[in-house]
Structure 1
């Protein structure tokens, strides 16, 4: 039986959350079949199977945060080898604990041991760097106690009565436990309130996401009175301990609502949201950019009536029949053209090398707000595309981002970014430069406004927007930034001037 460990899918991944399983126990899989989706710090990634065979166990549950190198699925690949982890109805080979052994961990988080038909672990795989481990005391005859000096064993209390209907599991139905495993003390029955664990006992029963939440909120699980069946500490228990006894529990539908307003918080005065995944990476990147690159932001208000008319004409053309045509497309093209006159906009400051790196290509990033946070995928070599090709690339990019399926490679290597705040009805803002780049432009809402016609001096109603350009003032001076912004605005005011670039 082969165990597939969570791999590093790129860019130094250290942990990821299991978003969904695409297989279940008993399914047959082939090599490269997608087995699950994981959420990294940047996106949702599909993991293909490196083995062909039959799925024996799903070792982690949906919602679990697991570290790179942690086994996530067991597949019977036909090698005839027996896994050291216990499975329901399977025999387990005894282990000689007197022989020297590599550091190991015992996994009791199988369906029979945890009482969950989905194989959810109540404790998770406890790593050495997560604090001191406690060993269960069952008497001097315990093999793990005698072999403690030779073998590092991380014992997990995973027995919990119940199953699909939260009924106690009969001893005959329990999976066999390896001889070297320490049997955890039986948890109290569901009807009896469980007492918090004390020093020297096994850690309180809780699923990995609950343990992570407790760690993030600074709550000691040993001090939390569990309310779940079988003495399991729930998310609500941790949140109540963090906010005090009078705190209203977080509504169960909160996670499905994303980031709700006050009315959707179920009457709670506060809701704590763990910082993880895309949002955590975004916060680190924006903080680093804001405090390392001296930002300068310039604004310009533009009459874009001609651009809006162009958009309507393009929509009626056969070439754009299946493509989305919007003012953003014209802005993207205008930025690419304007860089020909001011190439320093398409560069970045290499602090380590002491150099300014000018790019001969444009990987055009589009900042996209998703339920998981801000992501900035980019269109590779946008400067080499026709307007039709650029429209197709932008459509694919935004659709993928909104579905939360942008891959890390699609967000790497950007050279310039557009953030379209106008879709929210916002006039403009002071955007923060995406790390690794030197400039970003904010595209404000297009509104009907009174405008003075310079030719006639009359006040007319026109389509007007505001552009805001932030740039790195370490190597882009005000003249270069102003030139670029004026060129972009000029193309939007009169798209025919694009022929001059």
Structure 2
């Protein structure tokens, strides 16, 4: 026989302390696995503790009504040597050790329902809550535990057929809106609805992280001002800041090609060609993201011409299917609307998107002849949103630093 410690489990995500409401067993009593042996609670809710082990209650260390911290040993048990001791005190296991009745989805308690719920182990309660099982679902499960108790394996077997089928998409509850006089309730346009659906899917499936970096673009602004008239005359297309920044981004992607990847269900595809996406206006005012194909081979002049051609097709409603397919990296110029920075949403299967902020005049420390001076400079904030499953903070920062170096080279 060996002695193991039983810690105070956690009730809910924010709970740090709880009290022993009642001991249902006394030292010397034999406790079966999954048997109820104590009730704990806070000022908001009481919850039952079911034994993870089969053995004898050896010593009670916390008295009834005494409040202690989560993880504190409240009692000890003697179990058979063949029973493998679990590290219940670990944070992850503590979260699973007890769940309140209210966490079982769509549950309305009746006397009969209360009996069913009280018969469930903490692990089963958590699984029921996480998988949206109702009491009607639980009643369909054949328990293989003592006296027909539902065990973890029983729930897993019940869920297997569901997991084999396509998961049910999340459906947002539709609210009943109060419409006042002279107000009009209109459905989203087909395009806006499609955009909303795609953005929601991306946001729900991708763990977004955004890193920001300020760039001194004073030289870039001066360069563009210096050559824009000549550029227009020679190429019959206007040169914008975005064209210059696109070239800086393309050159940075060549150095860090992971940013030019597609990710799909644990498979990463690093794309050979850079198909650079950018926002373009449609006739109805909505935005769409076409792309420049094989941008790694293009000069600034070629970038400007292709952006102009594709933008014109978008404005006239004449985009080709190929214009909007197979984007590998996207640059979004939100600064043209006045914003200083933003946290753009990644479009699947891409792994990153870059937002360009507005160019602002700021006080900046400049070193001249070995001396630091504070001078007004033109500054832009870059915002890189990336899929944290693929790109970590170090790679994101290196990538932004490379873009910054390219933007400051003019």
TM (norm. structure 2) is 0.53
Contact kept in structure 1, 2:359 and 2:379, CA below 8 Å: yes
- Alignment-derived partner of residue 459 in structure 1: 374
Residues 1:477 and 2:389 aligned together = no
Query: Within 5 A, what are the aligned runs for 1:23-34?
Result: none
CA deviations 1:338-359 (Å, max 9, x no partner) are 01111000001121xx310000
- Alignment-derived partner of residue 184 in structure 2: 271
Query: Within 5 A, what are the aligned runs for 1:21-170?
Result: none
* C-alpha distance in 1 between matches for 2:392 and 2:178: 50
* C-alpha distance in 2 between matches for 1:401 and 1:273: 25
- Alignment-derived partner of residue 214 in structure 2: 301
Contact kept in structure 2, 1:279 and 1:372, CA below 8 Å: no
Contact kept in structure 1, 2:247 and 2:299, CA below 8 Å: no
CA deviations 1:361-385 (Å, max 9, x no partner) are 0111002344352310111111111
SS at match of 1:454: strand
Residues 1:431 and 2:330 aligned together = no
* C-alpha distance in 2 between matches for 1:320 and 1:414: 30
- Alignment-derived partner of residue 289 in structure 2: 376
Question: Which residue among 388, 391, 412 is the counterpart of 2:325?
Answer: 412
* C-alpha distance in 1 between matches for 2:285 and 2:349: 22
Aligned-residue offset at 1:448: 1.7
* C-alpha distance in 2 between matches for 1:373 and 1:279: 7
TM (norm. structure 1) is 0.44
SS at match of 2:254: coil
- Alignment-derived partner of residue 181 in structure 2: 247
CA deviations 1:60-110 (Å, max 9, x no partner) are xxxxxxxxxxxxxxxxxxxxxxxxxxxxxxxxxxxxxxxxxxxxxxxxxxx
* C-alpha distance in 1 between matches for 2:395 and 2:317: 36
Structure whose alpha-carbon radius of gyration is higher? 2
* C-alpha distance in 2 between matches for 1:432 and 1:439: 8
Q: Structure 1 residues 429, 309: closer, same or farther in 2, change over 3 A? A: same
- Alignment-derived partner of residue 28 in structure 1: none
Q: After the TM superposition, which of the residue ranges 366-375 and 331-340 deviates more from structure 2?
A: 366-375
SS at match of 1:323: coil
* C-alpha distance in 2 between matches for 1:306 and 1:284: 41
* Residue segments in structure 2 that go unaligned for 5+ positions in a row: 1-173
Query: Within 5 A, what are the aligned runs for 1:182-197?
Result: none
Q: Structure 1 residues 412, 443: closer, same or farther in 2, change over 3 A? A: same
The structure that is helix-richer by fraction is: 2
Contact kept in structure 1, 2:235 and 2:301, CA below 8 Å: no
Contact kept in structure 1, 2:274 and 2:328, CA below 8 Å: yes
* C-alpha distance in 2 between matches for 1:306 and 1:396: 28
SS at match of 1:400: helix
- Alignment-derived partner of residue 87 in structure 2: none
Contact kept in structure 2, 1:320 and 1:388, CA below 8 Å: no
* Residue segments in structure 1 that go unaligned for 5+ positions in a row: 1-216, 220-241, 249-269, 496-501
- Alignment-derived partner of residue 445 in structure 1: 358
Question: Which residue among 343, 358, 371 is the counterpart of 2:270?
Answer: 358
Contact kept in structure 1, 2:260 and 2:270, CA below 8 Å: yes
* C-alpha distance in 1 between matches for 2:320 and 2:186: 24
Residues 1:491 and 2:406 aligned together = yes
- Alignment-derived partner of residue 333 in structure 1: 247
**RMSD, matched Cα:** 2.3
Q: Structure 1 residues 218, 413: closer, same or farther in 2, change over 3 A? A: same
Query: How many pairs does the alignment contain?
Result: 233
* C-alpha distance in 2 between matches for 1:418 and 1:287: 19
Q: Structure 1 residues 420, 477: closer, same or farther in 2, change over 3 A? A: same
Question: Which residue among 299, 304, 310 is the counterpart of 1:391?
Answer: 304
The structure that is strand-richer by fraction is: 2
